[in-house]
Amino acid sequence: MMDGDVAHWWDRNAEVWARHVRAGYDVYRNLYNNPAFFDFVGEISGKTVLDAGCGEGYNTRLLARQGARMTGVDLSEKMIAFARSEEERNPLGIRYEVASMSDLSVFPDESIDAVVSTMALMDCAGYEEAISEFWRVLRSDGLLAFNICHPCFTYSIRDWDYAESGEVRGVRLGCGYFEETVETERWWFGAAPLILADPYIYDRSGGLVPHAPALKANQKILKKNLAYAKSRKIPLMYMGGLDPAVKGADPEFCGRNAAMSAFATDGYWVFYEGPTYDKDHVDYFRWFTRANRAIVAGDRSWHTWARVDLAAGFHDPERFGHLVLSGTPEMIGKLSDEFRKGGRTGPIVVFSPEGFARTTYMKLAADAFLQGENMLAQLRDESQREKSPATAAEIKRRLETYAAQLAQLKADASGPMDAAKWNRLNIAVQECLKRVGKVIAETRLQALLDNI
């Protein structure tokens, strides 16, 4: 694969990539890759740094905020355009160039203090030339820091280990470790919303399985997962939705699946359609609109709906409550009357788009802090069981430190919450919980050793 091929595929992906990254969906980079990578890079303030394969500039901006004088290069003109656009909005003094990391002729010899490259070198058509160029532009005491996809887990060459039953047990490490491949991989961000298109496969056409059996299979799975909550008489509301970034799945199946899910739960569903959803996701808009109408009417024939062309104007925001921008008492009352006619029971909740997002991230934050409180309680129990007064005192000191850190993070979580704020908060909370978990593990291990 040549540089032009790599640039072509990243140009095609640039818009979606930039949108998802800036929404905080690249959680593996934010939680794992970047903390370890930046810890390795160390103090960077005041240094001249080249980000090779900078993409839309996410990490370039992070390093610039640490005081580095940054230049970013990338093969993709569209990625660089997104990076420059962000630099215009929020200037950090970053220079961006369209260039291959295997040809850095725009930079003089020994002009760079550090070259960094995060998850990009494996996409370089000439990585040997790239390493040579890094060596040329670096000063004699310069730093080269890069990471790549682990060869053992490259999709096209990974070797699965199977049990006698045929089930996958794991991945065989070392297989294909030094094998060179040329391919284009299709992958996604694990935290980004994806559309269920049949019982087991997401982000694919619903044609892989006919709609009716797929919907019935989904219904069976849903009822099984809800059984315990139902037995405890816990009311559950289906809150279906689509991220405005999502494209390419099966709109008809999504609409049918929404109606099925609403009838399997105890309440009306809320659909976040985005500010221009009726224009840039027309098919989804129409099928979800039909789902709303069926839910209100109590129409359970979601698996036998005819494939019809839903005319524009089918959506009536005063009747259907999937997105009420101004929830007046009269509007909500009318919605309630229509909803009850369908024989449905349970609460009706109406959100604005901002309210929907805020509530979602507040729930995620509450879950994270609950996990933190549970872990602190475990650490408190360990300190009480500790026989050594000195060790017990040290555990209590750490307990107080971590409790104070979580309390501060909880205070920071108050107020409006969006994806970016939640992402920053979650990284900090998870880092704190990792430290708490490490102390718990060390304490329990020492207790076991003392009893041997």
Is 183 part of any domain? no
Task: Please count the CA atoms within 13 angstroms of the CA of 33 that sit on its side-chain side.
Answer: 16
The stretch 151-166 carries a mean pLDDT of 56
Greater pLDDT, 423 or 82 = 82
- Tell me the pLDDT tens digit for each residue of 315-366: 222 222 333 333 445 544 554 555 445 444 444 444 444 444 555 566 677 7
The stretch 214-226 carries a mean pLDDT of 74
76: domain CATH number is 3.40.50.150
* 47 and 103 fall within a common domain: yes
* 19 and 130 fall within a common domain: yes
Closest CA to 284 of 244, 333, 337: 244
Contact by Cβ (8 Å): 349, 324: no
Residue 356: the pLDDT is: 46
Is 252 part of any domain? yes
* 325 and 212 fall within a common domain: yes
- Tell me the pLDDT tens digit for each residue of 128-144: 899 999 999 999 999 99
Greater pLDDT, 166 or 432 = 432
Is 319 part of any domain? yes
- Torsion angle defined by CA atoms of residues 319, 418, 18 and 57, in that order, rounded to the nearest 10 degrees: 160
Is 161 part of any domain? no
Q: How far apart are CA 237 and CA 221, in angstroms?
A: 16
* 310 and 387 fall within a common domain: no
- Tell me the pLDDT tens digit for each residue of 366-398: 778 888 888 888 888 888 888 888 888 888 888
Is 347 part of any domain? no
- Tell me the pLDDT tens digit for each residue of 396-416: 888 888 889 888 888 888 776
Q: How far apart are CA 66 and CA 310, in angstroms?
A: 53
- Tell me the pLDDT tens digit for each residue of 109-118: 999 999 999 9
Domain that holds residue 44: 3-148
The stretch 82-107 carries a mean pLDDT of 93
Is 433 part of any domain? yes
- Tell me the pLDDT tens digit for each residue of 29-70: 777 788 889 999 999 999 999 999 999 999 999 999 999 999
Residue 4: the pLDDT is: 67
* H/E segment holding residue 264: helix 251-264
Is 191 part of any domain? no
Boundary (domain end) residue, out of 133, 148, 163 = 148
Greater pLDDT, 205 or 178 = 178
Boundary (domain end) residue, out of 148, 165, 187 = 148
Is 185 part of any domain? no
Residue 300 in 3-state DSSP? Answer: coil
Number of domains in the chain: 3
- Torsion angle defined by CA atoms of residues 344, 345, 350 and 355, in that order, rounded to the nearest 10 degrees: -130
Q: How far apart are CA 159 and CA 222, in angstroms?
A: 33
